[in-house]
Structure formats: structure tokens, C-alpha cells
């Protein structure tokens, strides 16, 4: 998430040479991401949607963002 962003609320993801923008409210994806990584991103989004929207509001007022825990997975 970056400061001075545009609506709708979203966050940026990177994996190797892939980049994407994920809409927080409906999960719409712009860009490219391998299916496996995208599934993990969606799981994380489902768990932290409220926190992401709170951070979005904080970013609009240029306040410090709250830390959001990573997805805990067994490899």
C-alpha cells in the first residue's frame, strides 16, 4: 500500500517477475500472478480485509500504517 493512492482501496503485490494490484473490497486483480500465489494472497485478504481497509484510511490521511501479520502456512 502506498500513500497518495487512488480509489478503489487496493494493495500492490510482487512475486519474482510478477506484479499485481488487488482490490481490497472485491479481490479484482490487475496484472499477473501465478495461480498458487494468487490463492495465498486471497486467503490473506480474507483474513485481514478489515485491517487492510483500516490501513487504506490511514494512508489517505498520511498516518502510519498498522502492521498486518503474514499468512501462516505449512510448507
At 75 the pLDDT is 54
Other CB atoms within 10 A of residue 50 CB: 9
Entry pTM: 0.88
Provide the b/e sequence for 25-45 (b: ≥16 CB within 10 Å). eeeeeeeebeeeebebbeebb
pLDDT tens-digit series, residues 59-68? 999 999 999 9
Residue 32 has pLDDT above 80, yes or no: yes
Our measurement of the distance from residue 35's CA atom to the centroid of its chain's CA atoms, rounded to an integer in Å, reads: 16
What mean pLDDT is predicted for residues 22-39? 96
pLDDT tens-digit series, residues 5-18? 888 999 999 999 99
Amino acid at each position: 500500500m502506498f500513500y497518495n493512492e487512488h480509489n478503489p482501496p487496493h494493495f500492490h503485490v510482487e512475486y519474482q517477475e510478477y506484479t499485481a494490484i488487488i482490490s481490497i473490497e472485491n479481490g479484482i486483480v490487475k496484472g499477473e500472478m501465478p495461480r498458487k500465489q494468487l490463492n495465498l494472497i486471497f486467503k490473506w485478504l480474507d483474513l485481514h480485509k478489515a485491517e487492510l481497509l483500516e490501513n487504506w484510511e490511514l494512508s489517505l490521511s498520511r498516518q502510519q500504517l498498522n502492521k498486518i501479520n503474514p499468512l501462516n502456512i505449512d510448507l
